[in-house]
Amino acid sequence: MVNTKVTLSGLTLDNPIIPASGTFGFGYEFADLYDINILGSISCKGTTKEPRFGNPTPRIAECTDGMINSVGLQNPGIDKVISEELPKLAKVYSKPVIANISGFSIEEYAYTCEKIDTHPQVGIIEVNISCPNVHNGGMSFGTNPDSAFEVTKAVKAVTKKPVYIKLSPNVTDITEIAKACEAAGADGISLINTLMGMRIDLKTRKPVIANKMGGFSGPAIFPVALRMVYQVFDAVKIPIIGMGGVSSARDVIEMMLAGASAVQVGAANLIDPFASKNIIEQLPEVMAKFGINSLEEIIGGSH
Ligand code: SIN
């Protein structure tokens, strides 16, 4: 019998599989399909201080082995998330969850973090400084070590819960950003968010996406994500949640060998709502095939 348990900042997860923010709603939407309690945890839909309608449509473009989104952080706002969405999730999911928050100023990040901190089911706060689809926020905080430091410091000041900072791959050196977050007190790093991309419609000769560009995700970005997890593992001592194009149990094991302590599944959930469940079910067989008794033992094992 193999051991799939992993630990993240003192939280023990039954397995490392976590549906990624923005690809699994607030989790309860999937509870009619299967028992979502098999999931290691859930990273909930990104939440901001105010409700957001998101970007104009079209905001999705298909690509070979992936997709581009420009959703624009659509969400009901922190108050409704606390009063309506998380209570619905609590009815069908009994484990600690990851709250994913975004903002347009350092004060907004801190405000939303302080509010979500009060929710008992939130085990980890994931701070998104990497959304490529909004102006004056999101990724603009995650592409500069100084602003990454400032956001991290501000959110750490208002919560005692573990804070993981979600990083953008759209930078020259991701290790500089990760080190700045660690220096400011981050408890962990989540990486990677989407890569900036675009498509052009040959009939209209215009960008497919109304916002012109968006974030590219899916299996095509897996090697980029893996490389960045590998680099960040060498650069910091805090745990990493790896993500980016993960679509199989083999991908999960690769991510963990690169240095991830847990793994998020993103675009795969949009292709197949059972993707995270299938990966969890595949894991023991793939572990046995490669002689892995315990997943915790392989973290960073490729270095
Ligand atoms: C979005 O809402 O635009 C996607 C979220 C993200 O990329 O961080």
**The pLDDT of residue 189:** 98
Buried b (16+ CB within 10 A) or exposed e, 160-191: ebbbbbbbbbbbeebbebbbbbbebebbbbbb
Length of the chain: 303
**The pLDDT of residue 1:** 86
62 assigned to some structural domain:
no
Atom of ligand 1 nearest to the CA of 194: 7
Considering only CA atoms, which of 163, 303, 295 is closest in space to residue 238?
Answer: 163
CA distance 222 to 127: 22
**The pLDDT of residue 301:** 98
Q: How many Cβ atoms from other residues are within 10 Å of residue 84's Cβ? A: 11
Q: Tally the domains of the chain.
A: 1
**The pLDDT of residue 280:** 98
159 assigned to some structural domain:
yes
66 assigned to some structural domain:
no
The DSSP H or E segment spanning 128 is strand 122-128
61 assigned to some structural domain:
no
User: Is the Cβ atom of 73 under 6 angstroms away from ligand 1?
Assistant: yes
Alpha carbon of 194 to ligand 1 centroid (Å): 8
**The pLDDT of residue 282:** 98
1 assigned to some structural domain:
no
207 assigned to some structural domain:
no
**The pLDDT of residue 135:** 82
The domain that holds 192 is classified in CATH as 3.20.20.70
The DSSP H or E segment spanning 45 is none
User: Is the Cβ atom of 142 under 6 angstroms away from ligand 1?
Assistant: no
User: Is the Cβ atom of 55 under 6 angstroms away from ligand 1?
Assistant: no
Alpha carbon of 2 to ligand 1 centroid (Å): 35
Atom of ligand 1 nearest to the CA of 214: 3
118 assigned to some structural domain:
yes
303 assigned to some structural domain:
no
Alpha carbon of 298 to ligand 1 centroid (Å): 30
User: Is the Cβ atom of 128 under 6 angstroms away from ligand 1?
Assistant: yes
User: Is the Cβ atom of 71 under 6 angstroms away from ligand 1?
Assistant: yes
**The pLDDT of residue 139:** 84
Instruction: Say how many CA atoms lie within 13 Å of 296 toward its Cβ.
Output: 8
How would you write the pLDDT of the chain (303 residues) with one tens digit per residue? 899 999 999 999 999 999 999 999 999 999 999 999 999 999 999 999 999 999 999 999 999 999 999 999 999 999 999 999 999 999 999 999 999 999 999 999 999 999 999 999 999 999 999 988 888 777 889 999 999 999 999 999 999 999 999 999 999 999 999 999 999 999 999 999 999 999 999 999 999 999 999 999 999 999 999 999 999 999 999 999 999 999 999 999 999 999 999 999 999 999 999 999 999 999 999 999 999 999 999 999 999
Eight-state DSSP code of residue 82? I
Parallel, antiparallel, or unpaired for β 11-13 and 188-191?
unpaired
State the residue range of the domain holding 12.
6-56+71-198+216-298
Please say if 181 is a catalytic residue: no
